[in-house]
Structure 1
């Protein structure tokens, strides 16, 4: 009888410990929420307002106990998605991990078009203004410094109030088709200059065909500055 009571007592004790030791859905939710609160606080110091919600977690979930603090991290870039997921993981003796869906909104200043902008227009400061936008709603990124885009060219029409994103801009042509240019043939410290005519339009860093006006030969050259191209010797 005593043996049976001892076995029953040990069984009940083990069962109780097992139930108590499980990692619950509430603990996982609290870990994810604490992580997002810390993220929001960090961004607030930089001038961004972050609001968030965690997705639902099945209350019946029951994972192995974790002997170490739960680790939480984004599985993607929260600045490029308003529904990033977070990974909650245990690195203890019985490691596990699970993913929690979230809804994250990051609001902050960004450059937008002050008026409708047409393709080919060169950007000036008067064409832009700053307003608060949902930064992570656009996967194309935002721009906050007008000095970085002044002088750039609009690639396609932009509506008034639309955020200015990097893909809407391109560098202006340093050389236009038909322009007379200076051709520099360089070999180490030695160089020779001649005059030529550009056979295409291009920006700095692009490669184009240029006609050497002295020899009438066509050469391939790199655009190095407005009105200047260079070929290796």
Structure 2
């Protein structure tokens, strides 16, 4: 129930076509034909779509179903008066991602007056996810019947979708959850294996050896979370909590 790289690659090709149309829009506003504005659209847009593909693949581990992509291209401010330009270059502004609501930069790189504008773009990625059937109070463990499978826009929020029941059944709601919401990583936290003040086992591991000692937890934590522990000598250390509640420190 996660996106397949082949499906994303095909979506990247479609995205390139949509971005090409966006660049054409700016070129038309500059009073030139698109063929004149961008000599080689494929080479101009390839880096942008490759960045999108790389970003998408980090969000959705490969498995089965491809995502169904949709791109909504907004409009430039109609009050803009762009000077004629022989070459319009599309680019992604620093920090921007082609995921959800974003923007595409368009700049004139060959004209009497160079200009730079931003075009609003919304990238949607529809795929299977688990949607809550009712409200869930903070700290409540989620059961299998709390959500049903449905198609949602994965890109509607920045937090990754939790697409497998194995990853959310038994997890706790990190905040008030509302019916109709798609389950995402930011909505969940692992059950607490110990509270602040509890005595915990700390294991420090190095190449070929492991040393264990007891300490007092300074923070509550669950499996996979980072916990701070005060050792008997007063030193405070941080480590990753294992499934059995041991705090593991890599040396």
Aligned mate of 2:226, from 192, 205, 224: 205
Number of the residue aligned with 1:154: 173
Contact 1:205 1:224 in 2 (8 A): yes
Distance 1:134 1:231 in 2: 38
Q: CA RMSD in A?
A: 4.5
Distance 1:151 1:177 in 2: 22
Unaligned 5+ segments in structure 1 are 1-22, 212-216
Pair 1:141–1:95, CA change in 2 (3 A): farther
| 113-122 vs 51-60, which moves further | 51-60
Distance 2:250 2:104 in 1: 52
Number of the residue aligned with 1:8: none
Aligned mate of 2:108, from 90, 96, 105: 90
Number of the residue aligned with 2:81: 61
Number of the residue aligned with 1:119: 138
Q: Deviations over 1:59-115 (max 9, x none)?
A: 88352431x4x322343324242xx33222233365734324335362513432233
**Residues 135-214 of structure 1 mapped to structure 2, 5 A cutoff:** 135-138=154-157, 140-146=158-164, 147-176=166-195, 181-184=200-203, 189=208, 191=210, 193=212, 201-203=220-222, 204-209=225-230
Matched position secondary structure for 1:101: strand
Tell me the CA shift for residue 161 of structure 1.
0.9
Distance 2:85 2:204 in 1: 71
Q: State the TM-score, normalized to the length of structure 1.
A: 0.58
Q: Deviations over 1:192-218 (max 9, x none)?
A: 55667757532343113467xxxxx87
Q: Deviations over 1:30-68 (max 9, x none)?
A: 689x999x97xx99x9432415243145488352431x4
Structure number with greater Rg is 1
Number of the residue aligned with 1:129: 148
Distance 1:231 1:72 in 2: 46
Q: State the TM-score, normalized to the length of structure 2.
A: 0.55
Tell me the CA shift for residue 118 of structure 1.
2.1
Aligned mate of 2:120, from 86, 89, 102: 102
| 201-210 vs 23-32, which moves further | 23-32
Number of the residue aligned with 2:29: 25
Pair 1:188–1:26, CA change in 2 (3 A): closer
Tell me the CA shift for residue 160 of structure 1.
1.2
| 179-188 vs 166-175, which moves further | 179-188
Unaligned 5+ segments in structure 2 are 1-26, 57-64
| 52-61 vs 187-196, which moves further | 187-196
